A and B are shown apart, each in its own frame.
Chain A
Amino acid sequence: MDGHAHAADAHAHEIEIPYTVHARPDTGLYNGKLGIWLFLASEVMLFGALFSTLILLRTSAPTWPHGYKLLNVPLATVNTFVLIASSVTVVLAWAYLRLGELKKAKIYLALTLLCGLGFMVIKTIEYSTKFQHHIGPHTNNFYATYFVMTGLHGLHVVGGMVVFAYLLLTANKWYAEKRDQFTNRVEVTGLYWHFVDLVWIFLFPTLYLL
């Protein structure tokens, strides 16, 4: 009796959540992928609300400063290249996982993490320069939108970096045990990371160049 109970208990622990790797027949997607797209849809609305706010403030204001006169365009341009490069490295990591080359995939994941770190270092330099001049979100509506939008974007970059660090640290074990699942996790994390890149592609000209 006890033996049966233990066996049943052990078996219960082995039951896996379905569709973490394979596609559901009705959606044609594994759950992680549908989940990340639903999350990204909510993220579009979050950043959309901030862009909407920026438009309302800017079109209603009698005067509005040009971003290129107040912000550091060269640093932001470098950051744009860094983020675009990181989008490439993450798709390359996913591609190499599909080719069965974990070492190369890990190198590209590490490069993605480094790009994220580089982006945040540059952003920190930008912020600290402003703070040294006693400029902050309280200064005016332009800086309020600048700090809120780039700050929220920066938090998203940090969030992505945490996930990439986790993927890197657990890569060997996870890949050996559940290779397909790990490959899919890299894919959905990549989708999130591309979205972060996409937001910056619009933030850069909107805040810095106009």
Chain B
Amino acid sequence: MTDTHAPHDAAEFAPHQHAGGPGVEPLSEERHPTHHSDHDPAHHNSPEEVKKEVRKYLIVFGCLALLTAITVWIASFHLPTWQAVTLALVVATFKGFLVAAFFMHLISERKLIYAVLVMTVFFFGMMIWGPWHHHYDAEEEWPGYDKAHNAAAAAPASSHESGH
């Protein structure tokens, strides 16, 4: 993370920093002595810390691959719809958590980002909850709704197309 240090002058970006190669020093804490400020405790640029992160990313990748295989394996049983939906969404949510928490670093992010995401999750939840709510209300309000709908769907196509 390179947003973690206090502003320093433009000389730091001078062209002496050649692209790549062994001569280029990492964005080390020595180069940014204010690195331990409260800007972002999640990311350090010392080689040891970055290498730890790399190992963490590879472990998360392994977990995601395994969970993908499990998702496909579970689906092969062709479970009843609600069981299949629940299991698939539980596994997908866990995979999503891994990506968001570790690859997107949400496990240790700034408060402002959490504030943005809390609002987003609330409105997203409303959008997902709405259709189910609407459907069940319709059933309660018009008990014959589903029966009539099914009958219409089962009617011969020709009766719909006779006018064409």
Contacts and interface: CB of A to CB of B under 8 A. Distances in A.
A132 interface: no
A151 B45 CA distance: 38
Contact of A205 (B18, B47, B54, B75): B75
Interface residues of A, number: 72
Nearest to B57: A91
A49 interface: yes
A149 interface: no
Interface in A34-85: 34, 37-38, 41, 44-45, 48-49, 51-53, 55-56, 59-60, 62-63, 66, 68, 73, 77, 80-81, 84-85
Contacts of B25: 100
Given A29-B110, A48-B128, A37 B61 contact: no
A28 to B, nearest CB: 5
A152 interface: no
A106 B19 CA distance: 11
Interface string A172-187: 1001111111011001
B134 A101 contact: no
B79 to A, nearest CB: 10
Given A45-B127, A95-B50, A59 B132 contact: yes
Contacts of B43: 98
Q: Is the interface of B mostly helix, strand, loop or mixed?
A: helix
A102 B23 CA distance: 11
A206 interface: yes
9 contacts: A33-B3, A37-B117, A98-B50, A99-B50, A195-B104, A197-B99, A205-B71, A209-B71, A209-B75
Given A60-B138, A88-B58, A103-B21, 7 more contacts: A23-B3, A59-B135, A63-B153, A91-B53, A198-B100, A205-B75, A210-B75
Interface of A: 21-23, 27-30, 33-34, 37-38, 41, 44-45, 48-49, 51-53, 55-56, 59-60, 62-63, 66, 68, 73, 77, 80-81, 84-85, 87-88, 91-92, 95, 98-106, 171-172, 175-181, 183-184, 187, 190-191, 194-195, 197-198, 201-202, 204-206, 209-210
